[in-house]
Structure 1
Amino acid sequence: MGSAYYPILVAVFTGLVLISNITATKGVAFGPLLTDGGFLVFPVTYVIGDVLSEVYGFKAARRAIYVGFVMQALAVTAFWVTVRLPSAPGYENQEALATMVSSFTQLAVAGLAGFLVGQTVNAYMVVRIKQRTKESHLWARLLGSTVVGQFADTLVFCAIAAPVIGFGNVPAFATYAAIGWLYKTAVEAAMLPITYRVIGAIKRREPSYVPMT
């Protein structure tokens, strides 16, 4: 890419995806509101995805999505190999590790599916809206892509993950999916001022960026 910013964004993007999939193994309840531990950092991946799509375009954003996908798959493989390695004398956490890896694997499958669908839709929407609005109405690109992308991601992820973390019945699933979608969308809306500044700063400093006219 010839950019000092693109590799950093991809690295942070991938790290946040991995962290969110591990923290998502715990179901979390705030009274009647059901979610998982991934709510802490996962919405930020969409903010970074928007930055990548807006500044570098769909192909570059898709490349970052593929990197995240491959690293998640590698994490699952590494965990399963580790579980099956012979335990050292005195190691007493084999059963707990196996249980955690089993949960993580199922959630990783959900995450991989939701991630590919949601992030791809999100990146596509940013680019398509930009083709119509050019450099203006950035807020419309960011929010419009998030609403659609997060809906696709949340629906796919929750359909697979809900039974794993204990939200298997229909009311619990509906609450889990709805809260996840609304929360993630709200986080990105709240972060719009920061996203604007980050995108503006990178556009000014990125030699490869050509404004769309």
Structure 2
Amino acid sequence: MFNEWLWLGFAIVNFTMILLIYKIFGKAGLFVWIGMSTVVANIQVLKTIEMFGITATLGNIIYGTAFLATDILNEKYGKKDAKKAVWLGFFTLIAMTIMMQVALQFQPAESDTVHGALKTLFDLVPQVALGSLAAYIISQYFDVWIFSRLKNKFPDDKFLWLRNNGSTMISQLLDSLVFCSIAFFGMPWGVWAEIFISTYFIKFIVSFLDTPFFYIAKKIKPQ
């Protein structure tokens, strides 16, 4: 149970930090967080762990915080700012990919000890990179759209949980579907289905856990 408890604590730390950056820096802090989280998530996702009886990737928590950040922006500042944040995250992801590909082309010095590790982390697998980019922009845009629809239909604050959970859980399902369909195209159906289900299961839990933090963010008055 070590990984499960550590994972839960890690989730609480991530969600607390997003509230902290919002409290201190306001809307700008959420923009920065989204750019940072997309980069870190694409690094963490390379590590797999055993948890809840399944093999899962590690980046799902911080990737989920990007959805929480756009929901906060959508709730408190409107759809325009939420969309702006989505494109900021998308540009950040593309910029990191390009810059690291160029960095890997430099011939390392004889005394270098990290080139191999960097190559392992950032060596581009086109199919996976395309899947990641497509999943991010499609699911995040859908999240902004469905959140706005739910907010218009259920504007009362007693439906905050519906706007947050409904938009994020459905968007994360779409994210998993798009990513797995592109990144793991050609895999045997049974293997593909197992990856898809396990990936969404973890994202679903993350979406559920962020609910109280969304309520706290609603009450925060940034400095």
Q: Which moved more, 1:31-40 or 1:14-23?
A: 31-40
**1:152-187 CA distances to partner (integer Å, 9 max, x unpaired)?**
111112223347xxx943223212212222322222
Give the structure 1 partner of residue 178 of structure 2: 156
User: What is the CA–CA distance in structure 2 between the aligned matches of 1:13 and 1:110, rounded to whole Å?
Assistant: 19
| Residue ranges of structure 1 left out of the alignment (5+ in a row) | 207-213
SS at match of 1:100: helix
CA contact (8 A) 2:60 2:206 kept: no
SS at match of 2:123: helix
Residue type at the aligned position of 1:12: W
Residue type at the aligned position of 2:107: P
Aligned residues: 199
Structure with the higher helix share, 1 or 2: 2
**1:137-161 CA distances to partner (integer Å, 9 max, x unpaired)?**
1111111101221111111122233
Residue type at the aligned position of 1:195: F
Give 1:96 shift: 4.4
Q: How does 1:43-62 map to 2 (within 5 A)?
A: 43-62=64-83
**Aligned residue among 184, 193, 210 for 2:212:** 193
CA contact (8 A) 1:62 1:120 kept: yes
SS at match of 2:108: coil
Give 1:31 shift: 7.5
SS at match of 2:56: strand
Give 1:29 shift: 3.9
Give the structure 2 partner of residue 71 of structure 1: 92
User: What is the CA–CA distance in structure 2 between the aligned matches of 1:31 and 1:55, rounded to whole Å?
Assistant: 35
**1:115-146 CA distances to partner (integer Å, 9 max, x unpaired)?**
10111111111111111112331111111101
Residue type at the aligned position of 2:29: I
Taking a change above 3 Å as real, the CA distance of residues 10 and 104 of structure 1, as seen in their structure-2 partners, is farther
**Aligned residue among 93, 97, 101 for 1:80:** 101
CA contact (8 A) 1:114 1:153 kept: yes
| Residue ranges of structure 2 left out of the alignment (5+ in a row) | 1-24
CA contact (8 A) 1:53 1:126 kept: yes
CA RMSD of aligned residues (A): 2.5
SS at match of 1:28: strand
Give 1:48 shift: 1.3
Taking a change above 3 Å as real, the CA distance of residues 11 and 41 of structure 1, as seen in their structure-2 partners, is same
**1:46-74 CA distances to partner (integer Å, 9 max, x unpaired)?**
11121111112221111001111111111
Give 1:97 shift: 3.2
Give 1:92 shift: 4.9
SS at match of 2:55: strand
The answer on 1:125 being equivalent to 2:122 is: no
Give the structure 2 partner of residue 169 of structure 1: 188
SS at match of 1:14: helix
User: What is the CA–CA distance in structure 2 between the aligned matches of 1:60 and 1:75, rounded to whole Å?
Assistant: 23
User: What is the CA–CA distance in structure 1 between the aligned matches of 2:216 and 2:52, rounded to whole Å?
Assistant: 36
TM-score (norm 2): 0.79
